[in-house]
Amino acid sequence: DDDFQQLREEMDRLSGIDPEQICHLCEKLLTTVTKDIRVAAWYSWARLTMDGETGLADGLELLAALQQRFGPELHPQRERPRT
């Protein structure tokens, strides 16, 4: 997905990361495309950067809600050991 690729490229930058853009892309991806724990973690970071403790609390709440609702269906999927 183009939005996910754009998000990864933004997060991989060494400096000048735009937390507002990160937050926007994460919200878009999580509400329309994916249930990816990495996206939720990046959202938490962006919210912390923009809104401090309140933003971090919102991000952690999102992570907990995703885990509770989707659990093993979250991405990325853990590789299963070969038998």
Q: For 10-45, how does the pLDDT look when each residue is reduced to its tens digit (9 = 90+)?
A: 888 888 899 999 999 999 999 998 899 999 999 999
Please report, for the chain, the start and end positions of each structural domain, with discontinuous segments joined by +.
2-9+18-70
Give Cβ neighbours of residue 60 (< 8 Å, ≥ 6 apart).
44
Please count the residues of the chain.
83
d(CA 27, CA 58): 12
Question: In angstroms, what CA-CA distances link 39 with 18, 21, 44, 81, 82?
Answer: 15, 13, 9, 25, 28
**38-83 per-position pLDDT tens digit:** 999 999 999 999 999 999 999 999 999 999 999 888 887 666 666 6
